[in-house]
């Protein structure tokens, strides 16, 4: 798990570093902070899926199934991120740059755990979920 976290962190640092710079650029050019976050969040999900699936977690299962779970995990992260911006920036007046920077870090930990234990979880050979069930917990 330690090796996976290091790989995940490298993918995340590279991706989030570039996307955060793009966020600062877009908001500096006048794009709203929630709109900029939304656009860049979608881009980040697509690019990191490829790297995390293949390099970080070495997932060999069906990419389509993993992608659906990946998008669901990131949708939860998006909702939390948007909620933080609405509450902390729009209601309480904190600077959006700081809130977004902190949300990147907090969501990184949550998303690593979701990817490690749900998105890219490999079933033992021959294990199949029973009809109507999602499989073992």
Residue 42 lies in a domain: yes
Residue 77 lies in a domain: yes
Residue 133 lies in a domain: no
Residue 50 lies in a domain: yes
pTM for the structure as a whole:
0.76
The mean pLDDT of the chain is: 89
Element (H, E) at 65: helix 63-84
What are the pLDDT digits (tens) for 53-83? 999 999 999 999 999 999 999 999 999 999 9
Residue 129 lies in a domain: no
Which structural domain, as residue segments, surrounds residue 49?
2-119
Residue 132 lies in a domain: no
Residue 106 lies in a domain: yes
> Is the confidence at residue 137, as pLDDT, over 50?
no
Domain count, the chain: 1
User: How far apart (Å, rounded) are the C-alpha atoms in residues 114 and 80?
Assistant: 14
Residue 19 lies in a domain: yes
At residue 104, the pLDDT reads 86
Lowest mean pLDDT segment, chosen from 88-92, 94-98, 113-117, 121-125: 121-125
> Is the confidence at residue 136, as pLDDT, over 60?
no
> Is the confidence at residue 123, as pLDDT, over 90?
no
Nearest residue to 102 via CA among 8, 1, 6, 20: 20
What is the mean pLDDT of the segment spanning 28-43? 94
> Is the confidence at residue 130, as pLDDT, over 70?
no
- Residues near 9 by beta carbon (within 8 Å), at least 6 away in sequence: 108
């Amino acid at each position: 798990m330690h090796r996976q976290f290091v790989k995940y962190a490298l993918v995340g640092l590279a991706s989030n570093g570039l996307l955060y710079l793009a966020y600062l650029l877009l908001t500096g050019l006048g794009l709203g902070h929630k709109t900029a976050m939304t656009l860049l969040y979608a881009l980040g999900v697509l690019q990191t899926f490829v790297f995390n699936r293949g390099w970080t977690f070495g997932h060999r299962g069906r990419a389509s199934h993993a992608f659906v779970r990946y998008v669901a995990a990131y949708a939860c992260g998006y909702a939390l991120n948007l909620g933080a911006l609405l509450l902390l920036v729009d209601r309480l007046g904190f600077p959006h740059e700081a809130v977004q920077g902190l949300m990147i870090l907090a969501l990184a930990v949550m998303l690593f755990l979701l990817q490690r234990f749900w998105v890219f979880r490999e079933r033992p050979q021959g294990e199949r979920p029973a009809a109507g069930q999602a499989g073992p917990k």
